Structure 1
């Protein structure tokens, strides 16, 4: 008996290829619905938080989370959160057919943002002779710098510390004279320091 062969004329599939195709059909299954999850949530310390879930199964019967209260719609509720509430949360959804789905999500709690304090090493300096260092004291997550109420454009004479909280200008020039502020923020809010005026003397 002549063996099967594959040529462009006959359109037959070689046996190894046919076996591979059968294997793929056997083990492949259509993708399931999107994964149940808790929406990542950010909150200020002391606030009330509702953590919602996404991709909720349509045949859910009940929701369980060991750490907090769960509403009928699957949302998770925490009253007056503290920094200790920061962490990963797990929700278990019991389905009508006796199965269950598990979802995960993270809550991050921040301290209320305080108005930053801006200090300068010197506020009256001489052009091309002195340097000045501004330090922003804050509990914020990110720090930006303002010059005369607009975002500061750094020059080659300006350097920032790795956390952006210290601005050094060396040497100072007359165009650096003006009002400086640090603007700080976390995912919940932002605020600015009181301005510090830098005076530059020149001849």
Structure 2
């Protein structure tokens, strides 16, 4: 990082300038009037303005600071030439937008002497990028194609040395479902009530459906009232977005585990030793005869009927 000073050829006037304003790509860097200084977003602690000459120092330089900077200086006595801004409106698409399928433009219009148009989205400056462009006069923000993160409140602030006004537009981008997941245990003791919940990232919120052993259930939750041998198996949740017409599924295998199961009371083990012992499940008649490998990252088991 470094710093740069933009110097003007102006001499300090007998009477202070009515206003000094700097813009970068149509975005306010700082506007200084008799009422005080208004720095742009992200510039507050990076700039120093000499109001007597209009010179500006910019610190903490990054590649994003490259470009054309414009200074506007208005001497005293010219305020009568400024017409207050009014009638600020922001217009955007009225049609339904779907991620990666549609494009959008948001336009800021105003009457009066417009010196600066500054855009923010959800409180952060709007900057040009691979899918976002701003018109030379900063009147229009164009997005092609729209993505989920492009949704939000777009606010346009129009100003001149004697006035300012703001208007906003809420841009909705429908997307998903993404990141479908099931929250709940994959194993529980027999007889236990088990609740599985399905979640997804989606706008509008997704509709959910469950499949288990040929049975379909609608809703975000699936409740197994009494876990037994018949309710063990693969539970599939499908999330559907009615606007994007997309769907995604995920599954969870639910199994029963014995309470107090494992090695029988007569078994002893040493690390790395193979041990044959009965492993009992509450709802089975009898037990399974298992071979456990103690001390491995995950136990390996081979089951055979236990007499």
Q: Which band: TM-score by shorter chain?
A: 0.3 to 0.5
- The answer to which structure, 1 or 2, has the higher relative contact order (CA under 8 A, 6+ apart) is 1
Higher-Rg structure is: 2
* Structure showing the higher strand proportion among its residues: 2
TM-score, normalised with respect to structure 1: 0.46
